[in-house]
Amino acid sequence: MRPASTVVAAGRPAVTADGDLNPSISLSSTSHAPNAAGSGYGRYGNQTWSALEDAIGALEGGRTLAFASGMAAISAAFSILPRGAVITASKHGYSGTMSLLKKLVADERIQVRYVDVANTQEVLDALPGTVLLWLESPTNPALEVADLPTIIAAAKALNCGVGVDNTFATALNQQPIAMGADISMNSVTKFLSGHSDVLMGSLSTNDEALFTRLEDQRKLGGAIPGPFECWLALRGLRTLAIRLKASQENALEIATRLSKHAKVAKVRYPGLPTDAHHQTAKKFMKGFGAVISFEIHGTPADADKVCSSSTLIAQATSLGGVESLWERRHRWSAESPTIPENLIRLSVGIEDVEDIWADIDSALGYY
Ligand SMILES: Cc1ncc(COP(=O)(O)O)c(C=O)c1O
């Protein structure tokens, strides 16, 4: 099946006469013994989680575990690292991930070699002696793209574990596990659920031993998703292919227009043929996502003014929903100092592109 069919068809109950088409929301913290499915208790497993995990797993090409949030999934992946482990990680990335790495280093749990993921040689040079390469690509919010096939192959040749945060691309645009990665991670909060009404994360892997370690970590860490949230996420996933297609088409058009706008100094979007990462991205990505970052000719206060002057686009953090959202990233103190102060991150939704553009153009006129 092709991915646009998988998102619709995967994770449904077995066909039985008069049986339900959709999984139901299984609201039970426990089940009668003996438990044939082997879960037995609500922190160990749940039928509604399983339906969502089956669907994400079919897309990612690996068995999947759902977590209470994207950060819970990342924390679980890092928590199984041995004390003192040396890892290589993107120097730019989601501020929560970067803060977690900083904390793990400060607590002397791990050591991190930070690299520019777009500089393949720099990544390869950092790999010897590291047990895990954690890559975000495209990165949030700098939108750098790593040459995933080359880097993953090199890391695996050195026996280094590889985890990829696939949130910005989704499995519809790139499949880390098929490229050899051990883990593909998603903030399901974003494109997969797609309606800004769920917080959830996932880890997918085709390594059974790793799956068991991560599952044990979820059981003991307890960062489990709620059944209702899983049901909502699966409902959202059904339309992922058409939502992503619509928002990517809008994003390319908006990025093109932004790059010609007199008040815009720089646009970052890997789908733009002029973008520094376009050539790398086009080698293996099927689409370029729907997040654009741009810098204005103006101060951070001007950028704040722009973001608070829109009427259709909400000034809000997060991304990957049907609604367009934007914000100046440095309104968050945790954002990396190497991200420009006046950078605006725009998550392009599925509204009519002319309405999105009219809103941007008029908001840019407010300073
Ligand atoms: C790339 C990326 N990874 C991970 C996360 C964390 O996900 P969550 O907010 O679901 O915990 C985010 C959140 O913005 C993100 O953008």
Q: Is 69 in the pocket of ligand 1 (CB under 6 A)?
A: yes
The pTM (predicted TM-score) of the whole model is 0.98
- CA angle 251-268-303, nearest 5°? 90
> Of 348, 290, 304, 343, which is closest to residue 92 (Cα–Cα)?
343
Average pLDDT taken over every residue of the chain? 97
> Of 348, 339, 342, 273, which is closest to residue 141 (Cα–Cα)?
339
Q: Is 70 in the pocket of ligand 1 (CB under 6 A)?
A: yes
Q: Work out the average pLDDT over 108-120.
A: 98
Domains belonging to the chain, first-starting first, are: 3-237 (3.40.640.10), 240-364 (3.90.1150.10)
In this predicted structure, the answer to whether residue 177 has a pLDDT above a threshold of 80 is yes
Q: Is 140 in the pocket of ligand 1 (CB under 6 A)?
A: yes
366 Cα: distance to centroid of ligand 1 (angstroms): 31
State the Cα–Cα distance between residues 183 and 102, nearest whole angstrom.
21
State the Cα–Cα distance between residues 54 and 112, nearest whole angstrom.
33
Residue 189 carries which side chain, given as an amino acid letter?
A: T
> Of 365, 292, 294, which is closest to residue 324 (Cα–Cα)?
292
Q: Is 187 in the pocket of ligand 1 (CB under 6 A)?
A: yes
Q: Is 136 in the pocket of ligand 1 (CB under 6 A)?
A: yes
State the Cα–Cα distance between residues 37 and 46, nearest whole angstrom.
10
| Residues shown for the chain | 367
Pocket test for ligand 1, best of 78, 94, 145 (most atoms within 8 A of CB): 94
Report the DSSP beta bridge partners of residue 292: 346
What pLDDT does residue 45 have? 94
In this predicted structure, the answer to whether residue 90 has a pLDDT above a threshold of 70 is yes
Do residues 90 and 114 lie in contact, with contact meaning Cβ atoms separated by under 8 Å?
A: yes
- The per-residue pLDDT for range 318-335, each reduced to its tens digit, is 999 999 999 999 999 999
Per-residue tokens: 191: 């494109």
Do residues 257 and 357 lie in contact, with contact meaning Cβ atoms separated by under 8 Å?
A: yes
Greatest Cα pair distance, the chain, in angstroms, is 68
% of the chain at pLDDT higher than 70: 99
In this predicted structure, the answer to whether residue 242 has a pLDDT above a threshold of 90 is yes
Do residues 240 and 58 lie in contact, with contact meaning Cβ atoms separated by under 8 Å?
A: no
What pLDDT does residue 324 have? 98
Pairing mode, strands 161-165 and 132-136 = parallel
- Ligand 1 atom 16 nearest Cα: 94
Q: Work out the average pLDDT over 239-243.
A: 98
Alpha carbon dihedral 353, 354, 357, 362, in 10-degree steps, equals -150
Per-residue tokens: 226: 């709620």
> Of all atoms in ligand 1, which is nearest to the CA of residue 93?
1
> Of all atoms in ligand 1, which is nearest to the CA of residue 73?
11
In this predicted structure, the answer to whether residue 35 has a pLDDT above a threshold of 80 is no
- Ligand 1 atom 6 nearest Cα: 70
Pocket test for ligand 1, best of 74, 173, 190 (most atoms within 8 A of CB): 190
Q: Work out the average pLDDT over 309-321.
A: 98
Q: Is 165 in the pocket of ligand 1 (CB under 6 A)?
A: yes
State the Cα–Cα distance between residues 326 and 313, nearest whole angstrom.
7
State the Cα–Cα distance between residues 228 and 44, nearest whole angstrom.
16
What pLDDT does residue 34 have? 78
CB atoms within 10 A of CB 255: 24
Active site residues: 43, 94, 165, 190
Q: Is 134 in the pocket of ligand 1 (CB under 6 A)?
A: no
